[in-house]
Amino acid sequence: MPRVDPVDPKTKGLLSRLFLRVVYAMTRRKVGRVVMPVQLLGHHPRLLFGYGMMEDSFARSHTVSEALKNLVQVRVASLIGCPF
């Protein structure tokens, strides 16, 4: 359990609430649920936006093959004990 509580979009302002709902929906579509790092970064929408841009740029990068990206992702997940 994290020390910081996950953010609830209902407690934020109008623009932050809209942004969080969009991000949560995209995360659910990609992963199947809203993962804890996204919920915790919801406290700071600018950081969440930057995190999303970084993830998007990694996904769109063609410097490394998709097979190698997937292999590295599985290896890192197994090293840190992540179920994804």
Tell me which of 63 and 10 has the higher pLDDT. 63
pLDDT of 27-66, one tens digit each? 999 889 998 889 999 999 899 999 989 988 988 888 989 8
pTM metric for this prediction: 0.71
SS3 percent helix, strand, coil of the chain, rounded to 5, is 70, 0, 30
CA distance 14 to 33: 23
Please give the average per-residue pLDDT across 65-80, as a whole number. Answer: 90
